Amino acid sequence: MTNIHNHKILILDFGSQYTQLIARRVREIGVYCELWAWDVTEQQIRDFNPTGIILSGGPESTTEENSPRAPEYVFNAGVPVLGICYGMQTMAMQLGGLTETSDHREFGYASVLMENPTALFADLNDGDNKLDVWMSHGDKVTRLPQNFQVTGTTPTCPIAAMSDESRHFYGVQFHPEVTHTKKGLELLTNFVVNICGCETKWTAENIIEDAVARIKEQVGDDEVILGLSGGVDSSVVALLLHRAIGKNLHCVFVDNGLLRLNEGDQVMEMFGNKFGLNITRVDAESRFLGELAGVSDPEAKRKIIGKVFVDVFDDESKKLTKVKWLAQGTIYPDVIESLSITGTVIKSHHNVGGLPERMKLRLVEPLRLLFKDEVRALGEALGLPSHIVHRQPFPGPGLAIRIIGEVTPEKLEILRDADAIVREEIDAYNRRLFDETGVRDSERSVWQYFAVLPDIRSVGVMGDERTYARPVILRAVESSDAMTADWAKLPYELLGKISSRIVAEVPGVNRVAYDITSKPPATIEWE
């Protein structure tokens, strides 16, 4: 079997929200990497035995006392090191250079003039020996460490990149991990593949082979239970386990009644009939709605949904007396915002909680170190259809968090029907774009789209009468990295058609609005 962890990159996180993107780009290149907080020990690094090390950006200032520093061993490990933004600054400071604060900060596009040949910039050029990059910094390196040379400069940042080729140490003040830096992926490839010498064996097919082998080794002939939601995470886990242990996997689909139109039936058809999984459907709508009655706070709703799911799942697990393992689709990089100085920051919209200790089940988490885009790639390789792999938003709390205020059967029916129209029309729009361009994610295609039901009434006219009915808000965004998202520039004709259909076909709605706020500052799910 291919060893997909033989070559690996260690990324030390100094608290930047960009950091996860570094890891995702390295994985895209085909190389395994892990993301750790900056204050790791020498022994931990030795045990990991990285092929190369990347120091991330961060919000701190290297000029401040007690600001974060890389472990000294990083520079004595005998492997290539790349410092990005804050990572370059701390590299300079730790190796005898100097970083200073500046009155002139740089945020946004910049053109870096490349000076002195360097392996990091090999075969990179956006014209006139310059690179179009994305800057985001206040401090800057003002004195090189010994044996370093300047390899990139801008008018306001004379040391925009530096290198010590003899030790394979490199620093860039800009962010190659963001898509705004045009040759960013090529630069990271130069570092990871050409300089570090990593093989590119981190592929979907190899990850599947590795995961199946690990599951077989971990579980053996034991039986396993999985809570299947119909989202991409649990779906991929289900197919991995099915491939590894077959009928020893018991899937429990808890239908909370908060799903989109016909989704419950689609889940059963997909996994029960098409893939032949051992799956039980539990109709728990009344139980969920009963617990949600009278609750308006979005975070409280999330916690209730998570708790009730656990309770229902617990009840079902008691019926399966031979089960010894619990499978979960937890993706920790998707849950963790940053490994900052203050510790791990959990994204607010995730309910990270375990199952009751009384269940006494051991955990199987085959996706725990993967990123969402990697999970989608695995789903495609396992044969999942596009509407499952690219399902947005995720089913967890379902429609409940897109109903602003209390969740009631009436509101659920309105939102479910309106949402179905939104999906139908934008699905068709995306298909037309695909037919025109041959590209699934063209620059005009829509990444995520749904309806929201606010807790207000709107004045309208039906015939000769005034109506006081509910408005529906349409949300549609485009994104290249799933972390930032701009509102989708949908044609007016399409927006008009969606609006007309919702008002005409969904009783209780008399107005449709379109949300044109980008993320950030707006979140996507609209709680």
**Is 85 among the catalytic positions?**
yes
CA distance 495 to 491: 6
End-to-end CA distance of the chain: 45
Cβ–Cβ < 8 Å for 281, 330? no
Radius of gyration of the CA atoms of the chain, in A: 25
Residue tagged active-site, from 7, 137, 168, 175: 175
How far is residue 90 CA from its own chain's centroid? 28
Q: Name the residue among 292, 270, 275, 211 with its Cα closest to residue 244.
A: 211
Q: How far is CA 411 from CA 54, 346, 472, in A?
A: 49, 30, 11
Q: Which residues of 216-241 are buried (b: 16+ CB within 10 A; e: fewer)?
A: eeebeeebbbbbbbbbbbbbbbbbbb
Angle at 211 between CA 320 and CA 448, to 5 degrees: 90
H or E segment at 213?
Answer: helix 204-219
**Is 413 among the catalytic positions?**
no
Residue tagged active-site, from 33, 60, 157, 177: 177
Q: Is 276 exposed, middle or buried (0-12, 13-18, 19+ CB in 10 A)?
A: exposed
**Secondary structure of 388-446 as H, E, C letters:** HHCCCCCCCCHHHHHECCCCCHHHHHHHHHHHHHHHHHHHHHHHHHHHHHCCCCCCCCC
CA distance 254 to 238: 14
Q: Is 43 exposed, middle or buried (0-12, 13-18, 19+ CB in 10 A)?
A: exposed
**Is 217 among the catalytic positions?**
no
Q: Provide the β-strand partners of residue 468.
A: 459
Torsion of CA 432, 435, 436, 442, to 10 degrees: 80
Residue tagged active-site, from 7, 33, 60, 85: 85
State the greatest distance between any 2 C-alpha atoms of the chain, in Å, as a whole number.
83
- What is the set of active-site residues? 85, 175, 177
